[in-house]
Amino acid sequence: GFRMGIVGLPNVGKSTLFNALTRTAAAQAANFPFCTIEPNVGEVAVPDPRLDRLAEIAGSKQIVPTRITFVDIAGLVRGASKGEGLGNQFLANIREVDAIAHVLRCFEDDDVTHVEGRVDPIADAETIETELMIADLESVEKRLANLTRKLKGGDKEAAEQQRLLRAAQEALEAGRPARTVTVSEDDRKAWTMLQLLTAKPVLYVCNVAEDQAATGNAHSEAVARMAAEQGAGHVVISAQIEEEISQLSPEDAAMFLSEMGLEEPGLDRLIRAGYELLGLQTYFTVGPKEARAWTIRRGTLAPQAAGVIHGDFERGFIRAETIAFDDYLSGNGEAGAREAGKLRVEGKTYEVKDGDVLHFLFNA
Ligand code: GDP
């Protein structure tokens, strides 16, 4: 599955947010038991109202949302790349995630110590980013040195790695994160394999005070500008509110939200933003037994999309009966969509679209 790492300086609200995410009613109402894989790893249902609509139309007995994994990565402090705090341990944790949710303290509270003694999310973001860049630069230099022998042997893969590592090195030495390097489609896979910390997409999470969750504040606005400049995502959230909401029944949560002037839990926005950031999309399988959402990367072809359900579906793929979500709705189900000529038969080269309702035919 896809993994998102929650990082940030100490005391910015990471654990509060993680607890809210993994205890939320949505995580528990889902048809799989919420599992804490490890104390700091949790799976969360991706909220998607379309799935509920589909289940309603088809009369599905079960609703199975798709999931995303969050990892609470503690231990990032100034000097972490030099072994301060938990040192290198957390770096390994970050290497393993697909994207980073970077929590920034945007709330004032004299009772909660700020490690740097002042609330300044932009400076905090730089502190963390600097640590990650130093760690990346060290790993790039080490790997470049290790390539020498292979290069002498004329290893083609090594030459490709060298080219990419040098591009990363140039950016990092100029004080820019590796994600600013333009990578061609052909190089994408080798680039991802380098697992550079600063090459991972970032979502800034502005943790604001309870009464500013709906409006944001000057700090979160500054973060929004920074995110826009970097091509990163950003969401405004109050981790404390989210933690409170996560312990309420759905009815009470709805009431609480409307009192706070919020349309939906911030967590829903956060999860969706993470999903966006990871370049993910959803397709559905719908029947009387269950309506289910499946996660694929944008651009995935039908056989590989089928493979997410089961390897046999991919290997024996014949075709996919496809109905776009809107057509399923306006046809009030599969039969109606078919009658209206909206059921398409797609083959191996079909690029699955977000919201497609699919039925795969395959050789067993
Ligand atoms: P972490 O070290 O980043 O995991 O931070 P925690 O989640 O443990 O939070 C540190 C402290 O800040 C705890 O006492 C939280 O209750 C508090 N805290 C977290 N979010 C907020 C917030 O939005 N407002 C206020 N006032 N306190 C918060």
pLDDT, one tens digit per residue, over 304-357 is 999 999 999 999 999 999 999 999 999 999 999 999 999 999 999 999 999 999
Q: How many CB atoms lie within 10 A of CB 51?
A: 23
SS3 content of the chain, % helix, strand, coil (to 5): 45, 20, 35
Assess whether the C-beta atom of 14 lies below 6 angstroms from ligand 1: yes
Question: Do the domain assignments include residue 292?
Answer: no
- Which run of H or E residues covers position 232? none
CATH number, domain at 324? Answer: 3.10.20.30
Give the length of the chain.
364
Task: Give the domain extent around 168.
Answer: 3-277
Could you tell me the distance, in angstroms and rounded to a whole number, from the CA of residue 111 to the centre of ligand 1?
A: 10
Q: Which residues contact 156 (CB under 8 A, 6 or more apart)?
A: none
| pTM score, whole prediction | 0.86
Assess whether the C-beta atom of 85 lies below 6 angstroms from ligand 1: no
The pLDDT score that the predictor gives to residue 34 is 42
pLDDT, one tens digit per residue, over 233-279 is 999 999 999 999 888 888 898 899 898 888 888 888 898 898 888 88
**Domain count of the chain?**
2
The pLDDT score that the predictor gives to residue 85 is 60
Lowest mean pLDDT among 79-88, 193-202, 222-231, 287-296: 79-88
The pLDDT score that the predictor gives to residue 88 is 66
Q: Scanning the structure block, which residue is given the tokens 């795969």?
A: 360
Chain-centroid distance, C-alpha 173: 28
pLDDT, one tens digit per residue, over 41-88 is 888 888 899 999 999 999 999 999 998 899 888 767 777 777 666 556
Choosing from 277, 309, 339, the residue where a domain stops is 277
Assess whether the C-beta atom of 294 lies below 6 angstroms from ligand 1: no
Q: Are residues 241 and 316 in the same domain?
A: no
Could you tell me the distance, in angstroms and rounded to a whole number, from the CA of residue 147 to the centre of ligand 1?
A: 44
Q: Are residues 194 and 251 in the same domain?
A: yes
Q: Scanning the structure block, which residue is given the tokens 């004329």?
A: 154
Indicate the angle between helix axes 121-152 and 88-95, nearest 10 degrees.
80
Q: Are residues 306 and 272 in the same domain?
A: no
Q: Is 212 left (phi over 0), alpha (psi -120 to 50) or beta?
A: alpha
Q: Is 306 in contact with 360 (CB distance < 8 Å)?
A: yes
Question: Do the domain assignments include residue 284?
Answer: no
Q: Which two tokens stand for residue 216?
A: 């944001």
Q: Are residues 59 and 185 in the same domain?
A: yes
Could you tell me the distance, in angstroms and rounded to a whole number, from the CA of residue 331 to the centre of ligand 1?
A: 48
Q: Are residues 216 and 320 in the same domain?
A: no
Helix (H, G, I), strand (E, B) or coil at 81: helix
Assess whether the C-beta atom of 271 lies below 6 angstroms from ligand 1: no
